[in-house]
């Protein structure tokens, strides 16, 4: 993709990764992604962020469409994670910048990743600003959104907030702005990115949103490092969505994920789903043999109730369920109703293990159900009842918020 002017004198010069399906090694990325970088033409020509190392040549080519790379005076590194800084060594070599700006933690990370002992690194902190001519860059450290080195850069008077990983989506597209694509796809990918990347830092997110609101910055464009750029009314939507996501208020919606050996646990899952639906709570049933854990996590994020099912295997939980619970625990979802269920042949520890795991995540637990060998009428009736009990508890929780 060629450079795109997002404001007069400010160009997107990043790279589109059409083929990316595994993001950061753990999250499925069905729509690909982009690595966004922004070149500002001014008295001090400034590049904000770079791209993954294998796209360095694309970034340099895009820069060359605007100016000779050697004319880039400054590079701002908002975030040192390799998908944003991987091309940095090649850019420093090609541009020979006067200064490379980063946060205090960013300096440590750049030197650890790239051994950049002789680079002209200049540390900037929250509240500091940098004149580059007609424009001024204002810096805001956003530690643990989602790395310790993260920061955002506000470009005045262009009213652009270059937001690093905040407000991003994994979308590969020939379009550059969020209002140019199907809005349902956009909403799904924004929430999915938050659920699998940003969720454990929700308390930090709320503090940063407050800091941005108190900054006095007039923002009419948010330019994240992944996906499409927000402008106009989209800016308000993105900020409101992030605040809503970070608050994690429960929704009247449930997800059931499970793994099964001989389909007994699967039958139980379907019966529980029937009870939920009958009681007025929408539900999605997801087999961990079929659904990627990051897809399941997106549903966990959107749901007020999470119900896990597993057959007992080697006196414990089936491996895919254990992995899903571990992944979910790391992302720290809050304000959830939880329950567990499963079948067993002789020992039946899976129900206890799953329940204890979710208790450790501070879920409000509803007593679960287990069935020996193959669930009969009474066991399936108990599963339907479990669904109804979860729905009742969830609806009361939603009403109390």
Query: Which residues are the active-site residues?
Result: 24, 79, 81, 83, 146, 165, 193, 226
Q: d(Cα 170, Cα 164) in Å, to the nearest integer?
A: 13
Q: What are the start-end ranges of the H helices in 170-219?
A: 183-193, 202-214
Q: d(Cα 89, Cα 241) in Å, to the nearest integer?
A: 35
Taken as a whole, the chain contains a residue count of 401
CA distances from 296 to 32, 286, 312 (A): 18, 7, 21
Contact between residue 337 and residue 305 where contact means Cβ atoms under 8 Å apart: yes
| Cis ω before 340 (30° cut-off from 0) | no
Count of other CB atoms within 10 angstroms of residue 401? 10
61's enclosing H/E stretch is: helix 56-66
Count of other CB atoms within 10 angstroms of residue 374? 11
Nearest to 167 by CA among 219, 217, 224: 224
């Amino acid at each position: 993709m060629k450079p795109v002017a997002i404001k007069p004198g400010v160009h997107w010069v990043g790279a589109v990764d059409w083929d990316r399906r595994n993001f950061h090694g753990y999250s499925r990325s069905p729509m690909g992604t982009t690595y966004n970088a922004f070149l500002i033409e001014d008295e001090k020509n400034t590049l904000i962020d770079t791209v993954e190392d294998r796209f360095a040549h694309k970034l340099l080519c895009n820069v060359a469409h605007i100016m000779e790379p050697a004319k880039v005076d400054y590079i701002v590194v908002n975030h040192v994670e390799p998908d944003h800084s991987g091309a940095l060594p090649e850019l420093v070599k090609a541009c020979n910048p006067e200064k490379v700006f980063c946060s205090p933690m960013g300096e440590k990370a750049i030197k650890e990743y790239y051994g950049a002992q002789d680079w002209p690194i200049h540390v900037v902190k929250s509240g500091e600003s940098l004149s580059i001519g007609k424009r001024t860059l204002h810096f805001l450290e956003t530690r643990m959104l989602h790395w310790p080195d993260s920061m955002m850069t506000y470009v005045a008077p262009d009213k652009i907030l270059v937001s690093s990983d905040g407000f991003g989506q994994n979308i590969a597209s020939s379009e550059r702005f969020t209002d140019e694509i199907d809005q349902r796809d956009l909403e799904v990918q924004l929430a999915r990115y938050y659920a699998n990347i940003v969720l454990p830092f929700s308390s930090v997110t709320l503090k940063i949103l407050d800091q941005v609101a108190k900054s006095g910055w007039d923002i009419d464009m948010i330019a994240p490092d992944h996906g499409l750029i927000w402008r106009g009314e989209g800016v308000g939507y993105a900020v409101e969505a992030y605040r809503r996501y970070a608050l994690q208020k429960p929704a009247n919606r449930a997800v059931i994920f499970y793994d099964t050996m001989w389909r007994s646990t699967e039958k139980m899952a379907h019966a529980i789903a029937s009870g939920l639906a009958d009681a007025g709570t929408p539900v999605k049933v997801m087999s961990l043999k079929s659904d990627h854990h990051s897809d399941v996590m997106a549903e966990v994020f959107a749901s007020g109730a999470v119900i896990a099912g597993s057959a007992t295997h080697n006196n414990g939980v089936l491996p895919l369920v254990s992995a899903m619970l571990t992944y979910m625990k790391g992302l720290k979802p809050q304000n959830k109703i939880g329950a567990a269920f499963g079948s067993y042949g002789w020992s039946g520890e899976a129900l206890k293990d799953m329940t204890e795991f979710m208790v450790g995540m501070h879920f409000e637990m509803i007593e679960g159900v287990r069935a020996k060998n193959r669930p009969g009428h009474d066991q399936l009736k108990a599963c339907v009842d479990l669904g109804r009990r979860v729905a009742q508890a969830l609806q009361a929780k939603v009403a109390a918020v």
